[in-house]
Copies of this chain bind each other. A is one copy, B any other.
């Protein structure tokens, strides 16, 4: 199998989803057997830096965003596409990206929904508040309020629609899929906010919180390791605020 390179900055939530997937996707769910991941080379590619502006990176991802992969000669960006590609290319256990057409289509609908709902709300809220200065702009309170509405509505949808009954994972599954990794990585980014602010939004959604804990438990110690850099950055960010 050709070498897999992941162009990555672990502050990026879709990047973390891809890295976490590689670390856990070939593992048995048996806790004693957490050793075999998908082998990859992590190519550090800093957000907000010239790393994204080089001709070399343009050849990988002309949109200058993260994450992207190069698998031998084949290059790809957009994290959901990468997750699907890797699940198929590496023949990982079926629960990550089911081969059954109906199960796969349902999983796909969660991933499609994510883009314009949970991601738009969560990322939009951060961009309109604490990330605004990084884009040379003032916080946009009206935009933030609109994104908070979308984010809270997304938590409600996860709780009422995507988490069925008492199942541990999305779509009534007892094992995680690529959608669980993608959505939880997104939600983890909200730790950049003050605890009060984050709890105001996610606090009422107990099933969502329980599901996040399930994803962490199922994928640890890798989950914590992949999120460590984000939490280091957040600690430094909050200290300097």
Contact = CB atoms under 8 A, between A and B. Distances in A.
Contacts of A84: 105, 108
A116 interface: yes
Given A101-B88, A105-B84, A108-B80, A63 B157 contact: yes
A222 B108 CA distance: 27
A69 to B, nearest CB: 10
A222 to B, nearest CB: 24
A78 interface: yes
Contacts of A79: 112
Contacts of A116: 115-116, 119-120
A125 to B, nearest CB: 15
A155 interface: no
Interface string A112-124: 1101100110000
Interface string A62-73: 110000000000
Contacts of A80: 108, 112
A109 interface: yes
A235 interface: no
Most buried by B among A62, A102, A105: A105
Q: So how many copies of this chain end up in the complex?
A: 2
Given A84-B105, A88-B101, A101-B89, A113 B78 contact: yes
A82 to B, nearest CB: 8
B119 A78 contact: no
Contacts of A143: 143
A136 B161 CA distance: 27
B78 A109 contact: yes
10 contacts: A62-B160, A63-B161, A78-B113, A81-B105, A81-B106, A82-B105, A84-B105, A84-B108, A115-B116, A120-B120
Given A80-B108, A84-B108, A143-B143, 16 more contacts: A62-B160, A63-B113, A63-B161, A76-B106, A81-B106, A81-B109, A82-B105, A85-B101, A85-B105, A88-B101, A89-B101, A112-B115, A115-B115, A116-B119, A116-B120, A120-B120
Q: Which 4 A-B pairs have the closest CB atoms?
A: A115-B115, A85-B105, A78-B112, A81-B108
